[in-house]
Structure 1
Amino acid sequence: MRLPNTAHTSMPWRVHELTSDFTVEDVWAFRTPGAGPDDFPTMLAAMRAAGGFARQTWPVRFLFAFRWKLGALFGWDDPKAAVGARVASLHDRLPRDLRDAPRGGDSDDMPLKAVYELDTEAARELANRTVHTVMHLGWAQAANGDHELRMAVLVKPNGWFGRIYLAAIAPFRYVVVYPALTRQWERAWRDRNELALHRGKRGRR
């Protein structure tokens, strides 16, 4: 479910300290029935156990594969344009009390790299020749009293081309990517106990 930008900007997230020069592009909510205020780590673990983009539906995998092909063709994803090259990582902006916080794990199927991970929020980032983007995950109370997962996408386009690029991909985000993420992440919450058990069995092999 799409939310107004204020659902992100009005919350006391630590990410605001790092992203004053970014624009809020999207805010999305994911239903987690019965969730309490301390369940954010449980939600993150369930999302990881459910798998990343590799377990998405074929339309999402096709879109991302097509995007990576275009990036390779036009040099959008050249390492010289990545975090730490074209732009500095948000990790370099972390205040002292956050620098020792866990960052969260990185994996090959997750193109966004971890910045930090706390008890109620986490942030990841990606940069290329089109944009520097941050995916922020936060844990907030919903209208029904449960807690829910909120995802905010923050962007800093790289010039006029970056702005055109963001406008061009917006329909695909709303029609294909976000609905697929909603199904995957909400199912991960519903199946969290079974996923945790399955993950534990794999770890003992």
Structure 2
Amino acid sequence: MSSRLPVGEHTSRPWRIHAIAPDFQVEDVWSLPTPGGADDFPQLVEQFAAGPDHPVVRVLLAIRLRLGRPLGLNPPATRTLAPWMRERLPGDLTWWPGPDFGPFACLYHTDTEWAAHATTSGVDAISHLGWVHDGSGGYRGQWATLVKPHGLLGRAYMASIAPIRHHLVYPLMVGSIARNWRAATSAGRSDDSSRSTR
């Protein structure tokens, strides 16, 4: 079952993103129902980066982009990592490329972390995935959103979309992630079973 977590569930873990984005605030943290093993994190990143496949989420995102265009709140059309963010990366992380996510350009991708950044005139945002122990010998995903609002416009924007994001968009997204994860896991088991009977 997916659930929204306290901010401390993100800030208490030794993620690399803490040193890269100390001026960002953690807006949301979600537990993802994606049980797996130590080596399954790349599968979650690939699935997440493919974007939301829930029709309601797609419609809401399309409306958001249409409303944001006249206000200058939309990210650039091309996914390019901002130079000032690239300069924050330590040398070892510049060699860890990963997939982009919608308007978010990948910052880095390690064995247990993936982060991507998007910027608009109102806010800079980072989407962060982590792979954490589930307390029973396995692992699961954890998703955090970090933001850096710009002035009154950015703070007003974040406040205005918070109810929709917390109660509709994010729950639908994590539910979709869970369904896709179960389907991929079942398909993998079927393939393994098929190979074993040959």
Fold shared per TM-score above 0.5? yes
Structure 1 residue 144 displacement after superposition: 3.7
Gaps of 5+ in 2: 191-198
The answer as to whether partners of 1:46 and 1:192 remain within 8 angstroms in 2 is no
In 2: Cα distance, 1:89 partner to 1:111 partner = 17
Letter in 1 for 2:110: L
Q: TM-score, normalised by structure 1?
A: 0.81
Partner of 2:44: 43
The answer as to whether partners of 2:45 and 2:114 remain within 8 angstroms in 1 is no
Partner of 2:149: 157
Q: Deviations over 1:22-69 (max 9, x none)?
A: 101110011123x12222112223445xx423x222x21221111111
Gaps of 5+ in 1: 198-205
The answer as to whether partners of 2:75 and 2:119 remain within 8 angstroms in 1 is no
**Equivalent of residue 92 in structure 2, options 69, 93, 97:** 97
Structure 1 residue 187 displacement after superposition: 1.5
The secondary structure found in structure 2 opposite 1:93 is: coil
Q: Deviations over 1:122-162 (max 9, x none)?
A: 00111101100000000001234431100111010011111
In 2: Cα distance, 1:16 partner to 1:170 partner = 23
Measured on the aligned residues, the alpha-carbon RMSD in Å equals 2.5
> Measured at CA, do residues 104 and 83 of structure 1 come closer, stay the same or move farther in structure 2, by a change above 3 Å?
closer
Letter in 1 for 2:105: K
> Measured at CA, do residues 91 and 188 of structure 1 come closer, stay the same or move farther in structure 2, by a change above 3 Å?
farther
In 1: Cα distance, 2:13 partner to 2:184 partner = 26
**Larger relative contact order (CA 8 Å, sep ≥ 6):** 1
**4+ residue runs over 4 A deviation:** none
Partner of 2:182: 190
2:26 maps to 1:24: yes
The secondary structure found in structure 1 opposite 2:4 is: coil
The secondary structure found in structure 2 opposite 1:73 is: coil
Aligned length: 187
The answer as to whether partners of 1:83 and 1:128 remain within 8 angstroms in 2 is no
